[in-house]
Structure 1
Amino acid sequence: MACFKKPWFASSEFSRNLQQRPRTHHILTVPFFLLSLFLLSASYTSNSPTPYPAATPLFPPSSPFSNSHMLSKPRSRSTLSSVTAAERTHANSTTNSDSQAIRDLASCDIFDGTWVRDEHAEPLYQHASCPYLDDAFNCFKNGRSDFDYLKYRWKPHGCHIPRFDGLKMLRMLRGKRVVFVGDSLNRNMWQSLACSLRASLKDKTRIYEVSGRREFRTQGFFSLNFRDYACSIEFVKSPFLVQEWKVLRNTGQRETLRLDMIQASKSQYNNADIIIFNTGHWWNHYKTRNGINYFQEGNHVYDRLQVSEALRKALKTWAAWVDSRVDRRRTRVFFTGFSASHYKGGQWNSGGKCDGEKEPITNERYLGEYPWTMRILESVISEMKTPVFYLNITKMTDYRKDGHPSVNNNNKGRLRTTVQDCSHWCLPGIPDSWNELLYATLLIAHNNTHF
């Protein structure tokens, strides 16, 4: 396992002064160093005139690397356009560490933008070339023949995202441990990052599969070690973040969810250098049995508890664990927001479909409502001691009804299945853009702190 000898950020008079100030609990907080910050808006209310919150800059105005202004609200207009040659040249130039372009990123809400069509776009890794993909995500292997969904890239309003550079990211991650913790959407993102980093290496035998096998879906833990960089990229399965439990009742043993206990893991990850959490898709009434005899605290099993209240309790348990167990002088904590689904005519278990979708939604008026799960998450994060960087991918995924496996979610040669997958994403595909945003965030931190 990668060994880390010193904090991955450089000390500065700025960070020392911040630590001397009294702690305040509000959502736009500048923490110990510039990567750790909140991307949450304090103005989220259920009466918002638009389905999504107003845009916020990547770094708050009090940061010396931020502009003094904030972006306006997301624009109600068509959000589909084509990339120009000048934009492509500018985006490529940021890959070469153009300091001004990186500073521009720091004052921009990178999660509020548009999908632009780029005929010259190439995926970060080729179809069927990566051995770490779940068969369910490998749409090319499963018979998908249209690949126009790969011809779009995410462009925030007011700044440019640099092209992902796997070798540069590996250099930034040298000697570090990166752990994804959560459900299969986080596994989507983990596999995307693993494949993107692998594609950058000439000698791909220099990646060691720590867990020793590929079947990590049931194993619950998987780790890749990039030997030449002494860094590891890991995934820990924890769909609720809290512990699934067995309880004895009069009718025998049955399953509950312990809202007061973080899920135990075969991999102790609280001392990792970067931890990326997520949850959300399992918090629905069907999977939680409508809250009837399912949620437990201590020895008490609730006869019935609203799923929203159960999620709040679970996230408070997670937040307390992070605040008490994670060393925020060393570890950067991320939380990936809710990834949008696009079922029509029903849900995943009631005939919902998304097959035949060939292009993104072109106007934000047709987006769904902002997820209730994320409003609860944002409320909990705002009260934490530990800075949490919020990867708010909800809006950018809501546009992409064309990127799901749909009927191409098996490897048995059948193009039609009884259950379509309109929640996960084809790989290569949309999660690659999430990792480009993660890369851009690390690039800002590297440029400003030289970690």
Structure 2
Amino acid sequence: MSVLGSRFPMPTEWTTGYRLSKMALATTCLFNATDFLDRARDGRIVFAGDSIVRNQWESLLCMLAQGVSNQSTIYEEHGSPITKHKGYLSMHFEEYNLTVEYYRVPFLVIIDRPPKDSPKEVRGAIRVDRLHWYCAKWVGADILLFSPGHWWNEDKTLKMGNYFQEGGAVNTTIDVKEAFGKSLITLMSWVLQSLKPEQSYIFFRSYSPVHYSSSENFKKVEDRPGIVQRYEEFNSL
């Protein structure tokens, strides 16, 4: 059993929403940061993926910080500022010997230069069969949370000239959905080969709602009354 595995009961129900409401505020009151930190002592929690999981990482840090009396004992292990950041960040909770890490890998797999003799429209190659090299740093983590779906769309791939590569060649006929599926097979293969089921818990989230407020984004679902009604009901609580 992992360091954290026996200390955290697995969730049986999840609630999602677009904005922090009275219901969400009431739910957060149930969170006990000190208890969480005690359970997570000597552990590693890894967030890897896009800006959605970056927000989740930041939220957890803020919540856990409430359980630490001396805030100076919480610090980024490499002295990096907690701002817009390309790379990875590792926050250490000294009193509990706990690290909560974030790795910016929007596709989870490697984005590379296209092979020679690729078609002119190919400006970059998303290597669906090669996981990002940061994966070596994830080995041994107690909890891993992956969230890559936000970037797997035509706007951030094909329309930007980023096509999909397997082996030594780019495939210009493959669509985003199929390529995403291939990348998930790559991730799963790595999980099975590199992680120990008795040590690590793994959570995965694919596509998520956008995480910024925009009337234009909301208009996209106006033709779906059920979604609009649930959204309005949630925010009226």
Aligning the two structures, in what range does the TM-score lie when normalised by the shorter sequence? 0.7 to 0.9
**Does 1:295 find its partner at 2:164?**
yes
* Deviation at residue 34 of structure 1 after TM alignment: 6.6
Q: Is the 8 A contact 2:48 2:147 kept in 1?
A: yes
What does 1:66-81 correspond to in 2, within 5 Å?
Answer: none
Structure 1 residue ranges (4+ consecutive) displaced by more than 6 angstroms after TM superposition: 400-403
Match of 1:278 in 2: 147
Change (3 A) 1:402 1:312: same
* Deviation at residue 300 of structure 1 after TM alignment: 1.3
Match of 1:388 in 2: none
**Structure in which a larger fraction of residues adopt helix:** 2
Match of 2:22 in 1: 152
Distance 1:170 1:258 in 2: 37
Q: Is the 8 A contact 1:182 1:237 kept in 2?
A: yes
* Deviation at residue 175 of structure 1 after TM alignment: 0.5
* Deviation at residue 291 of structure 1 after TM alignment: 9.2
Match of 2:109 in 1: 242
Change (3 A) 1:167 1:34: closer
Q: Is the 8 A contact 2:49 2:104 kept in 1?
A: yes
- How big is the alpha-carbon RMSD for the aligned residues of Structure 1 and Structure 2? 3.8
Q: Out of 195-204 and 210-219, give the one that drifted further.
A: 210-219
**Structure in which a larger fraction of residues adopt strand:** 2
Q: Is the 8 A contact 2:127 2:164 kept in 1?
A: yes
* Deviation at residue 7 of structure 1 after TM alignment: 4.7
| TM-score, normalised relative to structure 1 | 0.44
Match of 2:15 in 1: 111
Residues 44-75 of structure 1: CA deviation (Å, up to 9, x unaligned): xxxxxxxxxxxxxx5xxxxxxxxxxxxxxxxx
Residues 235-266 of structure 1: CA deviation (Å, up to 9, x unaligned): 01111111111124346994110010001118
Say which SS state the counterpart of residue 113 (structure 2) adopts. strand
Distance 1:211 1:400 in 2: 43
Match of 1:385 in 2: none
Amino acid at match of 1:111: T
Match of 1:187 in 2: 54
Of the two, which has the highest radius of gyration? Answer: 1
Match of 1:332 in 2: 201
* Deviation at residue 170 of structure 1 after TM alignment: 0.4
* Deviation at residue 177 of structure 1 after TM alignment: 0.4
Residues 145-187 of structure 1: CA deviation (Å, up to 9, x unaligned): xxxx5442249xxxx8871111111011000000101100000
**Does 1:202 find its partner at 2:69?**
yes
Change (3 A) 1:323 1:222: same
Match of 1:416 in 2: none
Residues 367-422 of structure 1: CA deviation (Å, up to 9, x unaligned): 59xxxxxxxxxxxxxxxxxxxxxxxxxxxxx838999xxxxxxxxxxxxxxxxxxx
Q: Is the 8 A contact 1:293 1:302 kept in 2?
A: no
Change (3 A) 1:267 1:224: farther
Percent of residue pairs identical: 29
Q: Is the 8 A contact 1:293 1:301 kept in 2?
A: no
Distance 1:275 1:342 in 2: 21
Amino acid at match of 1:153: M
| TM-score, normalised relative to structure 2 | 0.80
Change (3 A) 1:151 1:401: closer
What does 1:170-181 correspond to in 2, within 5 Å?
Answer: 170-181=37-48
Distance 1:227 1:342 in 2: 31
What does 1:45-124 correspond to in 2, within 5 Å?
Answer: 106=12, 109-111=13-15
Segments of 5+ residues of structure 1 without an aligned counterpart are: 11-32, 36-57, 59-105, 116-148, 356-360, 369-397, 404-451
**Does 1:352 find its partner at 2:216?**
yes
Distance 1:163 1:191 in 2: 19
* Deviation at residue 323 of structure 1 after TM alignment: 1.1
Change (3 A) 1:257 1:201: same
* Deviation at residue 219 of structure 1 after TM alignment: 3.3
Distance 1:195 1:399 in 2: 26
Change (3 A) 1:338 1:303: closer
Segments of 5+ residues of structure 2 without an aligned counterpart are: none
Say which SS state the counterpart of residue 179 (structure 2) adopts. helix
* Deviation at residue 337 of structure 1 after TM alignment: 4.7
Match of 1:399 among 220, 231, 236: 231
